[in-house]
Structure 1
Amino acid sequence: MKQVVTDAIVLSRTDYQEADRILTLLTPDHGKLSVIAKGVRRAKSKLAGGIELLAVNEITYIDGRSDIKTLRSARMRQYYDKIVTQLPRTMLAYDLLKRIHRVTEDDTEPEYYHILQASLAGLNNLGCDPDRTEAWSIVHLLMISGHTPNLRTDAAGEPLVAGQRYNYDFDASLFVPHDAGAFGADHLKLLRLAYASQSPQALCQVAGADVALADIAQHLRQVLQYTLRV
């Protein structure tokens, strides 16, 4: 049985027997794993403190035949400690873990790890409104799941233009012109920026767009629920 070393983010953990814990981990190169951390709940365990939530952890595990691997060692590399200083950030971080857990399979693509790691880093930035990080994370979950909206043309195939208001067609994943529509040019620009950027930082740097970004975050939650049921 070989030992594997990789980075991992804890998606969930469950106490098992007297001192063990079963962890579900997301990794950049080995998909989603279930591992057992034997004795981790004992005060003197070498694993205690090395494998935590809201952190990037370097782990070594035994890759045997069982679906549940055995954790041999763990070392915390990056703890996003500022998230837990504010309750809304903490709650959103746990929601993100649950979302990623629900939409991923065991052999999931590496992009899911990148989305989660970048989202935790964004929430750790106290200078950035959590709505902006959430909007970015949902956009990229939708994109990797094949639910990218049409941000170029409307339902009639006409280019989306400034000065026109739009509503969103959830079934067709595109915008429909409407004089009293919920979305305008500012919303569309921010959505395009979110899809094009590799981290939430791009949205965090946009000044004076709090109202539009709050609208977008709420809209994207609805799209996520409609398409992926999470």
Structure 2
Amino acid sequence: MAGLYQVQGIVLSTQDFREADRILHILTPNRGKITAIAKGVRKAHSNLRSGTQRLCLARFLLYDGRSMATVTQCQVEDFFAPLRADLERLLTACYLAEIADVSVPAGQASPEMFGLLRRSLGLLVRENPHLVARAFEARAISVLGFAPRVNLCAACGAPLEEGLIPFAPAAGGALCSRCSRQYGAQYRVSREALAVWRNLASMGGSHLSRLKLSPRCQRELAEILPAYLEYYLDRRLKSRILMEQIREDAYEYGTRKN
């Protein structure tokens, strides 16, 4: 039938529409992002209900319309159920989905980003969510072509000094002490953090359980990786803002409780 096609995809986000419909933003490996409407999906008896929820991996049968596709059938492949029972893992999953959403233009194939998101959601079920997030960020930066220079000065190519190293997103990586004066916002990071960044970017999340990072290294990566990614995406990520707010509220509540 003309206009009817099948795709595998991950639901990045959803939006309720009219009384019972839902608009889906789906990441696919070969068609990029697709916007589709699932009609009547919010009704209790809808057979599309399970496969059209956020963060669901499914196979969709779509019909191309004038403004957007219509979901006619869907078959769930992975619901990632454990993520939905753990707030931190769920928020992290939404953060990864948002990165994929803003990174891939509509209609532009990105099998690398699709594969990265799919693997990372699977890792989130069992691995440390902070490490999964850092691995996803590092690999996404490489996939997008923004990999930083971390072994030599990003500005002049000189060797990096000992001790904490200046790191500037605007420069595209680490800096020597002479060049560090030429750029704006900077971070001071250890060689350990830069080495781990390289490893995370190359392994893309595999063997995360084997990584043994110092608390300082974890803090440095949690600061510089999201900052670098947001600099090149040219936006603050809403999911990250929400995660930070929840952590702050939890800390304040714990402080008041004690």
Secondary structure at the aligned position of 1:10 is classed as strand
Aligned 8 A contact 1:170 1:226 in 2: yes
Identity fraction in percent: 26
Task: Determine the C-alpha separation between the residues in 1 that align with 2:160 and 2:111.
Answer: 33
Task: Determine the C-alpha separation between the residues in 1 that align with 2:168 and 2:216.
Answer: 22
Aligned 8 A contact 2:23 2:36 in 1: yes
Q: Give the match for residue 207 of structure 1.
A: 212
> 1:105-138 CA distances to partner (integer Å, 9 max, x unpaired)?
112322221222122122111xx22121111111
Stretches (4+) displaced over 4 A: none
Task: Determine the C-alpha separation between the residues in 2 that align with 1:192 and 1:220.
Answer: 11
Question: Letter of the aligned partner of 1:35 in structure 2?
Answer: A
Q: Give the match for residue 73 of structure 1.
A: 73
Task: Determine the C-alpha separation between the residues in 1 that align with 2:216 and 2:94.
Answer: 24
Q: Give the match for residue 48 of structure 2.
A: 47
1:220 aligns with 2:225: yes
How many corresponding residue pairs?
A: 223
Q: Give the match for residue 140 of structure 1.
A: 139
Compute the displacement of 1:12 (Å): 1.4
Q: Give the match for residue 86 of structure 1.
A: 86
Question: Letter of the aligned partner of 1:102 in structure 2?
Answer: V
Structure 2's unaligned 5+ residue stretches are: 178-186, 237-258
Q: Give the match for residue 96 of structure 1.
A: 96
Structure 1's unaligned 5+ residue stretches are: none
1:194 aligns with 2:200: yes
Aligned 8 A contact 1:32 1:106 in 2: yes
Aligned 8 A contact 2:165 2:191 in 1: no
Compute the displacement of 1:210 (Å): 4.5
Secondary structure at the aligned position of 1:82 is classed as helix
Q: Give the match for residue 62 of structure 2.
A: 61
Cα RMSD of the aligned pairs, angstroms, is: 2.0
Which stretch has the larger CA shift, 98-107 or 215-224? 98-107
Task: Determine the C-alpha separation between the residues in 1 that align with 2:31 and 2:145.
Answer: 22
1:33 aligns with 2:34: yes
Task: Determine the C-alpha separation between the residues in 1 that align with 2:163 and 2:188.
Answer: 11
Compute the displacement of 1:71 (Å): 0.7
Task: Determine the C-alpha separation between the residues in 2 that align with 1:4 and 1:220.
Answer: 38
Q: TM-score, normalization: structure 2?
A: 0.79
Q: Give the match for residue 254 of structure 2.
A: none
Task: Determine the C-alpha separation between the residues in 2 that align with 1:56 and 1:211.
Answer: 35
Compute the displacement of 1:160 (Å): 4.8
Secondary structure at the aligned position of 2:123 is classed as helix
> 1:163-208 CA distances to partner (integer Å, 9 max, x unpaired)?
5431102211121245xx83222112201101111x3133332124
Aligned 8 A contact 1:27 1:113 in 2: yes
Task: Determine the C-alpha separation between the residues in 1 that align with 2:132 and 2:226.
Answer: 12
Q: Give the match for residue 151 of structure 1.
A: 150
> 1:18-74 CA distances to partner (integer Å, 9 max, x unpaired)?
22111111111111101111111111112121222222111111134x231011101
Q: TM-score, normalization: structure 1?
A: 0.87
Q: Give the match for residue 168 of structure 1.
A: 167
